Structure 1
C-alpha cells in the first residue's frame, strides 16, 4: 500500500458537516497523511470513511437519471441523446461518461470499492474502542454493497473484488455471475445490519444505519426475482447467460426472499409513511411536498444531506427551475408521465374524454400537484425585474391572447416558454417544470436549497412488499401496502385483482417514486422498456383564446419534443472499452 493516503477532507466532510471537529483540521497539511497516522487517529480514519461516502453520489446532479427515461427531458442534451435513442457503444456511453452521473460509472465505483476494501482490511487493527470500530465497519460493508448494487443494476454480473490489489499484482479478474453478485450484496448487507444501529444519532445522523442495509438487501432481492433476469430472448446468441441472468433458479423462492426482506423492515416498527392520514386533498399535497424537503422524518430510512455552501454538483432549484425565474429549466417532466397520474377519483386520465382534454390539470392525483409545475400553477414571487409582468407568481408555459391598449388582440408568449421575454434559451420544450424536491421558499436565482436526496424511504419498502406479494399470488397483502400509500396521497383505495392489480401497482410505483432513480431500472427489470422507452418524448402545446367576456378558452395539444428509440441491448450498459482493454478476462454484454 502507498505510504501516504490522500484524504480530501473538505469535500468528504461536507456530507457530515455536523460531525466536523475543526481542531483536527489543523494537525496536518490537508494534502495527505502518513498511513500510520490515518489508522491510529479515529478522526482521520473516519475522514477516510467519509470520503468513501462521496461515491454514493445522489440523484440531483444537473442531469438526472429521470431524463434517461420517460419521466423527463434534459433540454441541454449533454449526451443524454445517445442514451434515450439507444445508440450507446463501448466507446461512447453518452451521459454515463464523464462526471455527469459519477455514481453510475464503472471506474468510479471500483475506486470506491477499493477504498472500502482498504478500510475493511485495516479497521480491525486500529486501537479504537470496539463500538466505534463496529459502527464504522458496518458502514464500510454497506458502502461496498451499495457500489456493487449500482454496478449490477447497470452491467449485470461484475468482478467481485474484496482484496486490495497493489502494483505488481495480477489484477485481471473475470466477471462473477449475476447470482454470485446478488448473493454477495445480500451477505454484505446482512453484515452491515448486524453491526449498525437502527438509527444514527447526534453527529452521526446521515450515516448508514441498520435500516439502510436492510433496505438495500430488499431492493436487490426484488431485482433478482424480476423478469429481466429470467428471460433469455434478449440475449440470443450470448454465450454466457449466467453473467446477465439467473440460470435454473426457483423464481418463486426468489419472490419469497424479496417479500421476506421487505417484511423484515416493516416488522422493525421503526418507520412509517410521512403524513400518513391527511385531512384533505390540500393536506395530502402539502404532506407529499414536505416529505422531500424534510431532512428527518418517520419515512426516511437513509438520505443524503446538502449544505448551501457545499456543492458536489448540486444546485437543484437553479438547474431545474423555470426560465421565467432566471433558472435553467434542465430536467423537464414529460407528458408521458403526466398522463399516468390518475384523476382524484381513481379513474384514468383520458385525452379522448372531452372534460379531461379541456382541463387536463383539474381534479388529478394530489401527487401531480406536489411533483409538477404546469401552466397556471401557483409558484413563488417573480424576480424583481419580472414581477411587473406577473405579480402573482403563476407558471406560464402557453400562448395567450390579450387585448392591447388599442383593443387589438395580440398573442403573448408565456414567461416560462422558450420564447419568453425574460430568457428564451432555458425554457422547457415540454411545457412543464419539476416541483418535487424544490423548496419554494428559496430564491434559486441567488441561493441554493438544502433539500436532501432520499436513497431509501419507507414508501419504497411498501411498494417492494406489494410487488413480491402480487407475484406470489398474495394479493390481500399487496392491496394493503398499496392502499397505505394511496391513502397517504389522498387517493381512493383499490380492490383490483390479477393482471389489473399488477398494472395498477406498476403505475402506483411510477407516480409515487417519480424522479427518484427508480423508473430507469423498473422499465428494464419489468421488460416494458420496448413499449415505454421507445415512445417519443411528449410535451404539451397550450393556446389560450380570448373570449368576448374577457375569459379564455384553452386548447391543449400533445406534441413530440424529443425522438426516442429502444434497442434490447440497452437492458444493460456496455462495459467501457477502456476497461475491456485493461482486463482481457472481461466478457462484453450482449449486443455490444
Structure 2
C-alpha cells in the first residue's frame, strides 16, 4: 500500500473528499455488544460487561464502564476517538482553502459537512461530560505546553459555539442528496441537531441548581424553551419542505402498523423518508458492517447470545388499546394479567420478542413447563432447556427492534444497516416538549399525536402536568433503544426515579392442560435487578488519566480522583 503524504493530500480535491469520508467513518453508533439501553430501564445485558458500573453506581474517574466506548464491540464513542475526529476536522479547516478546487460549490459543501460532523462529535462529548475545551486548531507534539493549558469551556459557550457552527453549516449544505452521496450531512440534519442541542440546553439538568458553569447555566433565561421550540419548528419545516416525513403505511391493521415501524430501522435506502442523519454501514462482507447485532441479541433457541433483554418495566409501559381507547397496562386487571401481550401498542410487537411472539419459522418459547402443582419440569426452546443454557434471557424477553429476521445464527453474515442518529419522530417530540414549556398545550398535543397516529395510537387529550408526562412517555416508547433514554431521564433530573429502582422479569409457566400463567418477579440482584442511582452520575467524571495529563480540566461535581 502506498501512503499519501500530507502535502499531496491537500493538493488533490479527490483525496480531500476521501479525507472527509473518513470523518463519517469515525462517527459512532449504538449497536455495541453492551448497548446503552442496558444502563437504563430498557434492557438488561445478560453478561454485564461495563453496564454494572452504572447500574450499581460504581462510576468513578478510573472506570466509566461502557459509557466511554462500547466495552466489547467498537462504537467510536470513546473520549479519545471523539477528540481524534475533532482534531482531523480542525486540520481540514486549516488546509481546505489551499486546495485547488475547480468546483467551488463542492468545496463549500465539504466545509458544511465537516462543520456539521465537528459539532456532532462535540455534542457527543458535551451531553456526557458537560463543557469541554473548545479547540478549533490542530496541535502537534511541539504544542505540548499549549495543550496542557487547555481549560473546559462553560456549558453556555459550548452551546453557543455549536449553534453558531450549525447555522453556518445550514448555509453551506444542500437539503438532500441522491445516488452515492446519500447519507451525507444536510441542512436538514444541521437544523435537527440544533433542535436537539437547544432542547437539552433548556432542560432542568442544565438550569436547576447548577453546581458549576461547565455543566449548565448559572443564570436563568426563560427564553431557552422559546429557542428550543423555534429550532424544532424550523427543523420540521425544512424537513417537510424537502421530502422528509414520518414513514407511514396505508393500513390500519396492527400487524402492518407494527411492520411499518419496524421497517424504519431496516430500510437503509434513500426511500426511507424518516431518516435525517445516520451512521451508514455495509454488509459484513464489504468491510463496513457496523455490528454483530443479530448474533449478540438473537434468542438462544436460534443460536443467538440473547444479549440485551427488555425489562418488564419497559413492557408494562406499552399501552393497551381497546375500542379506540388507550390505557396503561394493569397487572391488577385479571383479563389483562391473563393475556398480557394482547391489544398492545403496535410498536410493542415491532420492538420486543415475548413468549408466543412470531419469529422466523416458529414462535418464541420462553415458557417453563410445570406440573399440576406448578413445579418446574422443563421449558421451551428459548429457555435453559433449549439450545444453550448460558445465553437465555434473564428477563423472559428478547430484543426485536433493529434485528434482521433473515439472519442465520452463528453465520456472522450480516446485511447492511444504518444506525439512525436523528429521525423525524424526534423532531415532533422535541417540538411537543418545547411547546408545552412555553404554554402552547394544543400545539404540544398536535405534535405528539402526529407520532402516535403514525403508530396507529389514539390521540392524547391530557392537559397540565399529565400532558408533560404523556410527552415523556411517548419519547420512551417511540425512541426506545435508540440512545435517548439515558440523556432524557438525566436532563429531566428524574434518573433516581427511573434508574434507581428494582427491575423486573417475567416467568411464564405452562401447565399440563396448556394454559399459561405470568408471574412478575424482581430481576436477580447480581445481574442488575436492584439498581442504584447516585446523583454524581448526572454527569460522567473527567477521566483521571486526562486530569493527570492536564489538571486544568476541572472535575465534575461530587467526584474525586
With the length of structure 2 as denominator, give the TM-score of the two structures. 0.92
Q: Confirm or deny that 1:152 pairs with 2:126.
A: yes
What is the Cα deviation at residue 166 of structure 1? 1.8
Q: What is the CA distance between 1:37 and its match in structure 2?
A: 1.4
For residues 50 and 495 of structure 1, the distance between their equivalents in structure 2, rounded to whole angstroms, comes to 46
Alignment partners' CA distance in 2, 1:99 and 1:555: 34
Query: Greater CA deviation, 217-226 or 269-278?
Result: 269-278
Corresponding position of 1:257: 227
Q: Does 1:456 align with 2:425?
A: no
Secondary structure class of the residue paired with 2:326: coil
Q: Which of 217, 221, 232 lines up with 1:246 in the alignment?
A: 217
Q: How far, CA to CA, are the matches of 1:411 and 1:111 in structure 2?
A: 55
- Choose from 290, 312, 318 the match for 2:295: 318
Q: 2:132·2:154 contact (CA, 8 Å) conserved in 1? A: yes
Cα distance, 1:305 vs. partner? Answer: 2.4
1:61 counterpart = 2:26: no
Q: 1:219 aligns with which of 176, 187, 196?
A: 196
Whether the 8 Å contact between 1:156 and 1:178 is mirrored in structure 2 is yes
Deviations along 1:97-149, whole A, 9 cap, x unmatched? 46536443222111110000001111121111211111111111001000110
| Cα displacement (A) at 1:311 | 4.7
Q: Do the aligned partners of 2:11 and 2:98 also contact (CA within 8 Å) in 1?
A: no
- For residues 263-305 of structure 1, the C-alpha deviation after alignment (integer angstroms, 9 at most, x for no partner) is 1122222321101654322221111111111113111111222
Structure 1 residue aligned with 2:81: 108
Partner of 1:198: 175
Tell me, yes or no, if structure 1 residue 93 matches structure 2 residue 58: no
Q: Aligned to 1:357, what secondary structure does the other structure show?
A: helix
Deviations 1:508-552 (A, max 9, x none): 1100000000000001000110110001222111111122xxx32
Shift of residue 76, structure 1, vs aligned partner: 1.4
Q: Judging changes above 3 Å, is the alpha-carbon distance between structure 1 residues 443 and 226 closer, same or farther for their aligned structure 2 residues?
A: same
Q: Secondary structure at the match of 2:369?
A: strand
Of 532, 535, 544, the residue aligned with 2:501 is 535
CA distance in 2, matches of 1:242, 1:356: 49
Give me the whole-angstrom Cα distance separating, in 2, the residues matched to 1:502 and 1:276: 28
Matched, 1:306 2:284: no
Out of 464, 467, 471, the position equivalent to 1:505 is: 471
Q: 2:330 aligns to what?
A: 350
Which of 387, 393, 400 lines up with 1:422 in the alignment?
Answer: 387
Ranges in structure 2 where 5+ consecutive residues have no aligned partner = none
Q: Secondary structure at the match of 1:557?
A: strand
Aligned twin of 1:24: none
Secondary structure, counterpart of 2:276 in structure 1: strand
Q: 2: CA distance between counterparts of 1:585 and 1:148?
A: 19
Task: Give the Cα–Cα distance (whole angstroms) in 1 for the partners of residues 160 and 86 of structure 2.
Answer: 17
**1:186-235 deviation line (CA, Å, top 9, x unaligned):** 11111211111101221111111111111111100000000101121xx6
Please give the alpha-carbon distance, in whole angstroms, between the structure 1 residues aligned to 2:289 and 2:554.
33
Name 1:293's counterpart in structure 2. Answer: 266
Partner of 1:84: 55
- In structure 1, how many angstroms separate the alpha carbons of the residues matched to 2:300 and 2:247? 32
* Equivalent of residue 119 in structure 1, options 92, 97, 101: 92
- Conserved 8 A contact 1:67-1:331: yes
Change (3 A) 1:257 1:277: farther
The two structures, once aligned, show a CA RMSD in angstroms of: 1.7
Q: CA deviation at 1:412?
A: 2.3
Output the CA distance in 2 between the equivalents of 1:60 and 1:570: 23
**In the alignment, what sits opposite 1:74?**
45
Alignment of 1:467-506 (within 5 A): 467-506=433-472
Q: Tell me which residue corresponds to 2:20.
A: 49
State which of 345, 358, 362 in structure 2 corresponds to 1:365: 345
Shift of 1:445: 3.1
2:7 pairs, out of 31, 36, 57, with 36
Match of 1:341 among 305, 314, 318: 318
TM-fit CA distance, 1:318: 1.0
Which whole-Å CA distance do the structure 2 matches of 1:193 and 1:63 have between them? Answer: 35
Q: Which runs of 5+ in 1 are unaligned?
A: 1-28, 382-392, 404-408
1:279 is paired with a residue whose SS is coil
Contact 1:255 1:472 in 2 (8 A): yes
The residue that corresponds to 2:538 in the other structure is 571
Q: Find the aligned partners of 2:70 and 2:347 in 1 and give their Cα distance.
A: 32
Q: CA deviation at 1:313?
A: 5.2
Q: 1:410 to 1:35 in 2, by over 3 A?
A: closer
1:168 and 2:142 are equivalent in the alignment: yes
- Residues of 1 paired with 2:491 and 2:182: CA distance? 33
Stretch of structure 1 that moved more, 342-351 or 138-147: 342-351
Task: Tell me by how many angstroms 1:402 deviates.
Answer: 8.0
Deviations 1:35-72 (A, max 9, x none): 12111222221221122212211111212111111111
Give 1:434-453 correspondences, 5 Å limit.
Answer: 434-446=399-411, 447-453=413-419
Shift of 1:356: 1.6
Q: Is contact 2:368-2:376 (8 Å) kept?
A: no
